[in-house]
Chains A and B, each alone.
Chain A
Amino acid sequence: GESVGLHLPTLSVQEGDNSIINCAYSNSASDYFIWYKQESGKGPQFIIDIRSNMDKRQGQRVTVLLNKTVKHLSLQIAATQPGDSAVYFCAEKTGGGNKLTFGTGTQLKVEL
């Protein structure tokens, strides 16, 4: 999962395996969550989002799970590919407006 500090946690998976990236969010009043993917030297890329009235949402090869009881968010990537190698981080929105609070990220490495 994500943590504050100089070194990003790293998840290494074999190509073709499923990946699970975790995020612990901070505010129980947060009502919207996003997962972003960031490749080296590029801007964050939107992957999938979920609102607090949902527990699960699926996209193409990705699934986001939300557990509000323990304030935990996870991103599941099916059949992980080399192109999935990147830093993944979650963001939460609390209250009105568009302000997001971002996690520090997890480095996903896909081994061939």
Chain B
Amino acid sequence: NAGVTQTPKFQVLKTGQSMTLQCAQDMNHEYMSWYRQDPGMGLRLIHYSVGAGITDQGEVPNGYNVSRSTTEDFPLRLLSAAPSQTSVYFCASTPPGVADTQYFGPGTRLTVL
């Protein structure tokens, strides 16, 4: 996984609660991204960042916020969780000098009741 870490590994929320999924890497990766994975569907891009201070929306950004204050960290925030956000969330990053390959973290399994 090229050293991408994610916490927590599991989380259960009630509808309307907020939380932050953490993603970190200490290898100076510039590009970082968040995906969600749902049964029978391919990974879908939520938000991404090409470097500290720069973020942009992916395919399914609604209900999620991100920030990139440092190169190392790229947290994903759910401001008001909904059952439709029940999913497995993966963070990925691209090492410098490797233009396109993305390496994934171990994932966070989120259930919203």
Contacts and interface: CB of A to CB of B under 8 A. Distances in A.
Interface residues on B, range: 20 to 34
Nearest to B90: A43
B1 interface: yes
A109 to B, nearest CB: 17
Given A4-B41, A5-B40, A6-B39, A98 B102 contact: yes
A105 B42 contact: yes
A1 to B, nearest CB: 13
A103 B103 CA distance: 16
B34 interface: no
Interface in A12-53: 32, 34, 36, 41-46, 49
Interface residues of A, number: 27
Given A43-B90, A44-B90, A93-B100, A99 B39 contact: no
Interface stretch (B64-72, B78-86, B104-112): B104-112
B48 interface: yes
A99 B42 contact: no
Contacts of A32: 100
Q: Which one of B94, B100, B101 has the greatest number of beta carbons of chain A within 10 Å?
A: B100
A45 B1 CA distance: 6
- Could you tell me the dominant secondary structure of chain A's interface residues? loop
Contacts, number: 62
B72 to A, nearest CB: 18
Q: Which one of A93, A97, A100 has the greatest number of beta carbons of chain B within 10 Å?
A: A100
Contacts of A41: 107
Interface string A63-105: 0000000000000000000000000010101000111111111
A5 B38 CA distance: 11
Interface of B: 1, 4, 31, 33, 35, 39-45, 48, 50, 58, 90, 94, 99-107
Interface of A: 4-8, 32, 34, 36, 41-46, 49, 89, 91, 93, 97-105
8 contacts: A7-B40, A42-B107, A43-B107, A98-B102, A99-B45, A100-B43, A102-B42, A104-B41
